[in-house]
Amino acid sequence: MNTLNEYIVYVKGIKDGLHQFDYDVNKDFLDFFEYHDLLDAHAHAHVNVFKNNRIFDIEIHISGNVLSECDRCTDELTLPINFIYHLVIKLEDGPTEDDDIIYMPESSTEINLAPYVYEALVFSIPMRKVHADDEHGNSLCNEDMIRRLKEYMIQDTPNDPRWDVLKGLLN
């Protein structure tokens, strides 16, 4: 059974104009898409769908918190998210190529917003997920893990002076 039926917008019966939808994004939603980079999510997605004839202008505003692993120390890390995602879907038959518009056959009866809410969630996550620093500039990461990382870190080897002469030729 599809647990994401609430994300389906039926296009045949919908009138032109603005339509608004609200969804809660949580661990069940992540599990449905088998997304394992996040441990949990407590977010809200507000979706504005503006229909004009066969064009659906969709804006997804997702905000809340996600639980992830820190890239540095692998401890759990709560990240705030606040992201607006915009897309346009057009109902049109025939082959069309446009990177800015998603084309669906005119015979389509529904638009499933779940994949687009999922994309908005994924795009809202920072590329680098690490604990912030305290007011003194010290990392709030797990101190034991940071100590272990420093222990196994490869130290830079001193430069060969012959290369320094060659680097001088570049200037």
Q: Mind listing the pLDDT tens digit for each residue in 135-157?
A: 888 888 888 998 888 888 877 77
The pLDDT of 126-141, averaged and rounded, is: 88
Q: In the β-sheet with 55-69, what is the strand arrangement from edge to edge?
A: 17-25, 38-52, 55-69, 76-91, 101-104
CA distance readout (Å), 55 to 69, 105, 119, 136, 153: 39, 12, 20, 52, 55
Whether residue 113 has pLDDT greater than 80? yes
Residue scoring higher pLDDT (152 or 61): 61
Tell me which DSSP letter residue 74 carries.
-
- Which residue type sits at 166? L
Q: Which residue has the tokens 């503006």?
A: 50
Residue scoring higher pLDDT (164 or 78): 78
- Contact between residue 107 and residue 91 where contact means Cβ atoms under 8 Å apart: no
Instruction: Mean pLDDT check: name the lowest of 21-35, 66-80, 133-147.
Output: 133-147
Surface-to-core class of residue 95, CB atoms within 10 Å of its CB (0-12 exposed, 13-18 middle, 19+ buried): exposed
- Contact between residue 151 and residue 143 where contact means Cβ atoms under 8 Å apart: no
Report percent pLDDT > 70 for the chain: 96
Whether residue 1 has pLDDT greater than 60? no
Count CB neighbours of 72 within 10 A: 17
Q: Give the whole-angstrom CA distance, residue 133 versus residue 146.
A: 13
Q: Output the pLDDT for position 50.
A: 96
Segment holding 152, helix H or strand E: helix 143-152
Instruction: Give the model's confidence band at 171: pLDDT under 50 very low, under 70 low, under 90 confident, else very high.
Output: low
